[in-house]
Amino acid sequence: MSSAAVRRVSFVVLLLLGGALFLLYHYNQRPGLPAGIAAGNGRLEAIEVDVATKVAGRLAKVLAHEGDNVAAGQVVAELDADDLRAQLRAADAQTRQVRAALQESRAGLNSAVAQQRLAEVTLNRTRQLVKQGYISGDRLDQDVSALQRAQAGVEAARSKVAEAGA
């Protein structure tokens, strides 16, 4: 073999060897990390937080998903509030009924107090008429009984108002 042929063969072998080393180097290179990602040795500990609601219900929207970064106080889900709205309407209706019952009880108390005053006035007149001899003692007994009934009615009405207000 001539020296020119040896040089050509050596050049081709060196060229192939250089190409192989170049390919081997680039094949073993790892791609760079994307922005915001760090590489290193160490230990990672995740902060795990259980999320719960104060009331039971169905989820209407999920605003954060697994793996998302969330801040303290951030809304991560919304509950379907239809059931709660229905409960609120029922409670409002019950409140109106209780207020109406209380108002009715107060009106009953006012009526009972008016009847008691009338019975007292009537009894005083009857006493004067009995002293003067214009009417009998039976009428006095009836008016005393009417006053006692009126007083009992006032007490019952006061109890009803207290019960309705409680």
**Residue 149: inside a domain:** yes
The pLDDT assigned to 128 comes to: 92
Kind plus residue range of the DSSP H or E element containing 113: helix 82-132
Strand partners, 61: 78
Cα angle 86, 90, 91; round to 5 = 115
pTM of the model: 0.51
Tens digit of each residue's pLDDT (9 = 90 or more) over 127-161: 999 899 888 889 889 999 999 999 999 999 999 88
**Residue 47: inside a domain:** no
Dihedral pair phi/psi, residue 79, rounded to 5°: -90, 150
Residue 58 near residue 82, CB atoms below 8 Å:
no
**Residue 11: inside a domain:** no
**Residue 154: inside a domain:** yes
Tens digit of each residue's pLDDT (9 = 90 or more) over 89-123: 999 999 999 899 889 999 999 999 999 999 999 99
**Residue 12: inside a domain:** no
- Please name which of 116, 118, 154, 119 lies closest in space to residue 140, comparing C-alpha atoms: 119
Q: Which domain holds residue 103?
A: 94-165
* Count of domains forming the chain: 1
Strand 59-62 with 77-79, pairing: antiparallel
Tens digit of each residue's pLDDT (9 = 90 or more) over 21-72: 888 888 887 777 777 777 778 887 777 778 788 888 888 898 888 888 888 8
User: What whole-number distance in Å separates Cα of residue 132 and Cα of residue 124?
Assistant: 13
Tens digit of each residue's pLDDT (9 = 90 or more) over 4-30: 888 888 888 889 999 888 888 888 877
**Residue 48: inside a domain:** no
CATH code for the domain of 154: 1.10.287
